[in-house]
Each structure stands twice: as C-alpha cells, then as structure tokens.
Amino acid sequence: MTTLSFTNILVLSYNSLSYAAILFLLASGLSLIFGVMRIVNLAHAAFFLFAGYLALEFYNIIFGSLSLMPRIIQLVSWTLLYFAWRGLNLYVAPRHAALALLLTYIVMETLCSLVWSFRFFELFFPHVPVKPVDRINFAGMITAILVALAIAALCGMFIERFFLRRLGQDTLSQVLVTIGFAFILQDGSLYTWGGDNFMLKQPWPLNFSAVVWGLSLPQYRAFMIVIAVVVAAALFLGIERTRLGAIMRAAVDDPEMARGIGINTNVVQMAIFAIGALLAATGGVVGGAFFGVYPGLDFEILPYAFAVVIIGGLGSLGGAVLGSIVVGFIENFGTALFPELSYFALFAPMAIILAIKPTGLFGKG
Amino acid sequence: MSTLLSVEDIHTYYGDSYVLQGLSIHVDEGETLGILGRNGMGKTTLINSIMGFVPPRRGAIHFRGEDITTANSFDISKMGIGLCPQGRRVFPTLSVRENLLVAQQEHDVGYRWDFKEVYELFPRLGERAGQRAGSLSGGEQQMLAVGRALMTNPSCLIMDEPSEGLAPMIIQDIGNAIQSLKAEGLAVVLVEQNAAFAVKTVDRVCVITNGKVVHESSPGELWANEEVRRNHLGIG
Ligand SMILES: Nc1ncnc2c1ncn2[C@@H]1O[C@H](COP(=O)(O)OP(=O)(O)OP(=O)(O)O)[C@@H](O)[C@H]1O
Ligand SMILES: [Mg+2]
C-alpha cells in the first residue's frame, strides 16, 4: 500500500469530485427513469456513448468541414420510409405492411449490391468517417452539445413511444428491449463512426490547468463539476417546485388516479425518458473530453452508474448526488491506494450497503 | 332535461371474473343520482368502467352524446367527468396545494373552480395548503379528493363512498358541500353504502345487485319499499 501526501489527497479529492460530476449526470437519468417508470434502462449508458459520437461528428462538421450529405440522404430515406409505412397502413394491416417493406428491402439490397455495388442499408445508416478535431471553441462546443442532446432525447422518446410503452410492466421484456437497444446503439455507432479512439477537444479557456498553492488543477475538471451542480439544481427545482414536477410525482404516487384527473401519463413517461436520455447525453458529451469516446465505453461505465444508484437508492435525486460522490471518491482513492483491487474497493462497499439497507442509503420503497 | 351520461348495457370483467352483467344507468343534466348496493355488488366497478380504468367488454358509455366506452381516462376527465374515488386516493407525497394544482386543466371558457373557490368551500384545506396530503386526517383527505375533482371543472361529479370511515360531523360537512354543488346545477353521481345519508341528498336512486340494476325510483319510494331495502340493501 502506498501512502499519500497531503497534496496527493487534495489532488485526488479534486479528481474524485469531477469524476463524481460525470457519474451524477449519467446516474441521475437512470434513477429518474426508474423512479417514475419502474424501468431499469440498460440502454442508458449507450446514450452516453452515442452522444459523445454525435458531438464528435458535429465538431467535424463545424470545425473540420465534414460533409452533411450522408445525413441529408439518411433523413430523406427515413422520411420516405415513414411515409411508405403510413401509406401502406391505409390499405393493409400493419403486419402485412411490415412484411411488404421487409420484402422490398431484401429486393433492393440484392439489386443494389449486384447492379450498382453499394449497400442499400447505407441509405439508412451511412458510414460517416470522422477525424480528431484540434481546433475547437466554446461556442462550437455548446452548439455540438445542444444538437447531440436534442438527437439523443428524440431517440429516447422514440424507444419509449414505440417499444417500452407497448410492454407495460413486464420486467423481463423491458430488460431485453433496453439491452437490445444498448447493442443497436453500440454497433450502430461502431458501423457509422468506426472503431478508433477519439478524444473530444477541450476548448479554450478550459484546456489549461490552474495553479493553486503549487497544485496544478485542470480547469476542465472544474467545468465538469459546475455543469453537474447546475444540472442537479435545475433537476431539483424542476421536480420539487414546478407544476410539471408535481405532475410527475403524482404519476409516481398513483398513475391510474393521475389519469383520472386528466394527466396524460403517456406524455409524462415519454418526457421522463427524453430527460433521462438528455442527462446521459450531457454526461457523454462533457465526459467525452475526459474519458474519450471509444467502442465499449458504455458497458465500461454502466456498472459505475449502477453502483451510484444502488448506493444512493434508485429513484432519489439526493441519493444520486451522494452515491456519485461516494463512488467518485472510492474509485479515485481506491485506484491510488490499491491499484490491483480498484473494482473490489468499489463493489465491496456496494454489496455491504445492499446487504444492510437493500433500498440504498436514500431509497424510499 | 337532456341526458348527460348514459351507460348502456355494459358487461365488465376483471380477468375471468364477470362483474357487471348488463348494467344500464343514465344521469340527466343537473341531476343527483344515488347508487346503492351492498359490498362487492359492482358499484366501484361501474365507476371504473365509466372512467376508463376498466373498460367494459360489451355495451357502450356516452357522455354528452360522445362515445367514451374505450376512451383514455385522461380524455374522459378532460371532457368533464370529475372523479372523487373510493378510498380518496389523494397523492400522498404531494402537498395539499400541489394535489389541487396537478388537477387544474386548461379551459377556453372561464374557470368556475380555482384554488380560491376550493378553499372557500373547504377552509380546512386552505389552512393546510403546504402540508403533505398523506399526513392529513381522513376527513381532510376526503375534502381534498372532492376539491381535486372540482379543480378539473367537471360537468358531472362522481363520488364513490365519500362518507366511508368518517365521523358524523364530517359526513355532515361533506353532505353540505354536495348540496351546494347541487344547487349550482352540477350533476352528481353519489355511490353510497350509507343509504340514510344518500337518500337525504339525491334526486333518484338505482340499487345494484350482482352487477345489475334491480331497482330504480325516487329516494322516498325506496325508503318506503321494505322488500328492496331488506333484500338488496340489508336494512330492515
Ligand atoms: N381489481 C379487481 N380484480 C378482481 N376482482 C375485483 C377487483 N376489484 C373488485 N373485484 C371484485 O368485483 C366485485 C365488485 O367489486 P366492487 O369494488 O365494484 O364492489 P363495490 O360495490 O364497490 O363494493 P364496496 O361497497 O365494498 O366498495 C367484487 O366481487 C370484487 O371482489
Ligand atoms: Mg366500492
């Protein structure tokens, strides 16, 4: 075991807090979705990674002049597909419409590869080769973040509306669907952007270290902490102090009764899922300049998010804050003190907390 | 008088258990209808069917001429049916004020019911506006349940056993509130076990046994009819 000097402890604490910030952004969405919808969303970390890639692509578009053409083609293809689906549904049953589209797809795919030698599939999922971007500024970063968030939120809404809503409260189907989407997003990202490791560039003035009392502290880490604090405050105020927050809490207390007084719980659930995806995406974009963006990052970080919500208690915002800080500190100090045992250092306390208080430190039910 | 709500020969099941077996009722505008019947006869199931919680498998329900048989509960509520359910079902973790807030709906026409009016009807709620609804007494929760239903500005108010488990004094208060709503011309469906309370309040009564209406009359006639009282209400 190594011993730590006082300076080491200060730096490690700073690192732990900034790590906790990213964990909070990821885990709060997981916790929120579970609290309101009783769904354990295994695709949650996939949104984290997906948003990192989206931000990377927008950096490429804004700063590396990547062509928008594949995306325009993609958008047109999906729109045409949607109208084909709607049109078919006017004349035949949905089952037959799906079959007709599937057959059309097989024919087109064969035709395209034989005659014009390209994948028909590429119209819907184009390959977009991105490169590392070195020139980046604050405004560009914010724009990329906002676009990535919007797209991630839309994906979340889509998954809730067309898949999860149909499953009701069947836990096994929920797990299977969300893990299915985790793989779809993961492999889709791999196909689209390739398998390279990328680092999102930190814009000026965040790409420097501040020197305090002779300690060199990267400013980007402070930025992560600020973002997490702002998001936590916004979430708290939104849930506890607004009418929409009250509607969400009512829908948790008694969903049937909430519908009976005019609350459209379908819209509430879709909004929650979108907010959850948005939180994960924020974590992914902000964290993308810290962890990097690479295939497998999602499944690497998901256990930490679960550790946070299990320690803090699923469905509790205060628990997510506390859990992230606990996990952030254990992870950083654990790695420094017992490098070979860092997983053990983290998951052993988690198991102990679960054994003593199965609902987590802050858990309700 | 035109018909506001009509339930036409509905058959409702919970899974395999066949509860409403061809039940019909109707409520006219401004009328107060009492629904009586012993435990487990299907009164709450009727309300669940109207509200869309448990839609009937056969039959139809119309409200203001529109078919609401398989409509979503939240749309039914927005069309003007206010529910004050059995067991009150206030949102326990929300404050009194938030319970009212979440029920408030957007309307083109002016609101009759807003916080001020609800607090006037039940001053106790105003005094406890910031308190968690789960920590209210039974009577206060009942007032909140009524106030919450009124916040949706209904044209028909459904109350399922509002007197259940309450002290006579509080039942009196709730009864007075119903009378004043009636005087305003609000149509009310009052489901009750407490027949003595119901007959004082309503214009017409239906008695339900085993998922069917077995008797329909004015409250006075029901009170005079020994046989129905003994066989279907269990009071001699
Ligand atoms: N969720 C449910 N699942 C299965 N059966 C149910 C359910 N709710 C009610 N029942 C059954 O349906 C029948 C009618 O119940 P209902 O609640 O409508 O009675 P009620 O007239 O409202 O009685 P009470 O006066 O006790 O409230 C009863 O036999 C009851 O056991
Ligand atoms: Mg009942």
Instruction: Say whether residue B87 is in contact with chain A using an 8 A CB cutoff.
Output: no
Question: Which of B7, B44, B233 is the pocket-test mutation for ligand 1 (most atoms within 8 Å of CB)?
Answer: B44
Is there a contact between A253 and B92 if contact means CB atoms under 8 Å apart? yes
pLDDT of residue A29: 92
B-contacting residues in A 198-257 (Cβ below 8 Å):
243, 246-247, 249-250, 252-254, 256-257
Question: What's the predicted TM-score (pTM) here?
Answer: 0.86
- Tell me, rounded to whole angstroms, the distance of Cα A181 from its chain centroid: 12
Q: Is the model's pLDDT at A71 over the cut of 60? A: yes
Was domain B1-80+189-236 assigned CATH 3.40.50.300? Answer: yes
Q: Residue B148 Cα, ligand 2 centroid: separation in angstroms?
A: 19
Nearest to B74 among A249, A253, A262 (CB): A262
Distance of residue A232 Cα from the nearest chain B Cα, in angstroms: 21
Q: Is the model's pLDDT at B234 over the cut of 80? A: no
Whole-number Å distance between alpha carbons of A350 and A206? 34
Instruction: Say whether residue B132 is in contact with chain A using an 8 A CB cutoff.
Output: no
Q: What percent of chain A has pLDDT over 70?
A: 99
- Nearest residue to A335 via CA among A24, A26, A14, A12: A12
pLDDT band at B221; cut points 50, 70, 90: confident
Domain segments of chain A as ranges? 43-293
pLDDT band at A183; cut points 50, 70, 90: very high
Identify the H or E element spanning B97: helix B96-103
- Nearest residue to A160 via CA among A44, A45, A38, A274: A274
Nearest to B77 among A243, A249, A260 (CB): A260
pLDDT of residue B1: 64
pLDDT band at B236; cut points 50, 70, 90: low
What's the mean pLDDT when you consider all of chain B? Answer: 91
Instruction: Say whether residue B2 is in contact with chain A using an 8 A CB cutoff.
Output: no
Instruction: Say whether residue B86 is in contact with chain A using an 8 A CB cutoff.
Output: no
Q: Which residues contact B55 (CB under 8 A, 6 or more apart)?
A: B12, B49, B69, B70
Q: Residue B46 Cα, ligand 2 centroid: separation in angstroms?
A: 9
Distance of residue B146 Cα from the nearest chain A Cα, in angstroms: 11
Q: What percent of chain A has pLDDT over 90?
A: 30
Q: What is the ipTM of this complex?
A: 0.93
Contact A248, A36 (CB under 8 A): yes
Residue nearest to atom 4 of ligand 1 (CA): B14
pLDDT of residue B108: 57
pLDDT per position as a tens digit, B115-125: 999 999 999 99
pLDDT of residue A89: 86
Mean pLDDT check: name the lowest of A15-24, A112-121, A296-305.
A112-121
Mean pLDDT of B193-218: 90
Distance of residue B154 Cα from the nearest chain A Cα, in angstroms: 10
pLDDT of residue B107: 62
Q: Is the model's pLDDT at A359 over the cut of 80? A: no
pLDDT per position as a tens digit, B102-150: 999 876 555 688 899 999 999 999 999 999 999 999 999 999 999 999 9
Instruction: Say whether residue B51 is in contact with chain A using an 8 A CB cutoff.
Output: yes
pLDDT of residue A35: 81
Chain B positions touching A270 (Cβ under 8 A) are none
Q: In sequence order, what are the beta bridge partners of B60?
A: B8
Whole-number Å distance between alpha carbons of A192 and B20? 56
pLDDT of residue A210: 74
Mean pLDDT check: name the lowest of A62-71, A209-218, B138-147.
A209-218
Mean pLDDT check: name the lowest of A11-15, A26-30, B180-184.
A11-15
What's the mean pLDDT when you consider all of chain A? Answer: 86
Residue nearest to atom 24 of ligand 1 (CA): B39
Chain B positions touching A262 (Cβ under 8 A) are 74, 77-78, 103, 105, 152
Q: What percent of chain B has pLDDT over 90?
A: 72
Q: Residue B198 Cα, ligand 2 centroid: separation in angstroms?
A: 15
Mean pLDDT of A262-269: 92
pLDDT of residue B156: 94
pLDDT per position as a tens digit, A125-135: 888 888 888 77
Nearest to A249 among B94, B148, B152 (CB): B94
Q: Residue B13 Cα, ligand 1 centroid: separation in angstroms?
A: 10
Q: Is the model's pLDDT at A65 over the cut of 90? A: no
Q: Is the model's pLDDT at A195 over the cut of 90? A: no
pLDDT band at A252; cut points 50, 70, 90: confident
Mean pLDDT check: name the lowest of A208-222, A277-291, A321-335, B211-225.
A208-222
Nearest to B73 among A246, A253, A259 (CB): A259
Contact A317, A239 (CB under 8 A): yes
Residue nearest to atom 7 of ligand 1 (CA): B14
pLDDT of residue B147: 95
Residue nearest to atom 5 of ligand 1 (CA): B14
Q: Which residues contact A239 (CB under 8 A, 6 or more apart)?
A: A245, A248, A249, A317
Q: Is the model's pLDDT at A1 over the cut of 60? A: no
Mean pLDDT of A271-296: 89
Ligand 1: which residues within 6 Å by Cβ?
B 14, 17, 19, 37, 39-45, 86, 193
Mean pLDDT check: name the lowest of A74-88, A129-143, B121-135, B190-204.
A129-143
Chain A positions touching B92 (Cβ under 8 A) are 253
Contact A277, A47 (CB under 8 A): yes
pLDDT band at B91; cut points 50, 70, 90: very high
Distance of residue A236 Cα from the nearest chain B Cα, in angstroms: 15
Write out the residues surrounding ion ligand 2, Cβ under 5 A: B 43-44, 86
Whole-number Å distance between alpha carbons of A44 and A60? 25
Nearest to A262 among B89, B92, B105 (CB): B105
pLDDT of residue A21: 94
pLDDT of residue A363: 66
pLDDT of residue B96: 97
Q: Which residues contact B10 (CB under 8 A, 6 or more apart)?
A: B20, B22, B23, B24, B46, B49, B56, B58, B59, B60, B61, B69
pLDDT band at A246; cut points 50, 70, 90: very high
What does DSSP assign to residue B230? Answer: I
- Nearest residue to A48 via CA among A321, A284, A319: A284
Q: Is the model's pLDDT at A225 over the cut of 70? A: yes
pLDDT of residue B64: 93
Instruction: Say whether residue A37 is in contact with chain B using an 8 A CB cutoff.
Output: no
Mean pLDDT of A46-73: 87
Chain A positions touching B99 (Cβ under 8 A) are 250
Give the residue, A228 or A220, on which the prediction is more confident.
A228
Which range has highest mean pLDDT (A46-50, A115-119, A137-141, B221-225)? A46-50
pLDDT of residue A49: 92
pLDDT band at B232; cut points 50, 70, 90: confident
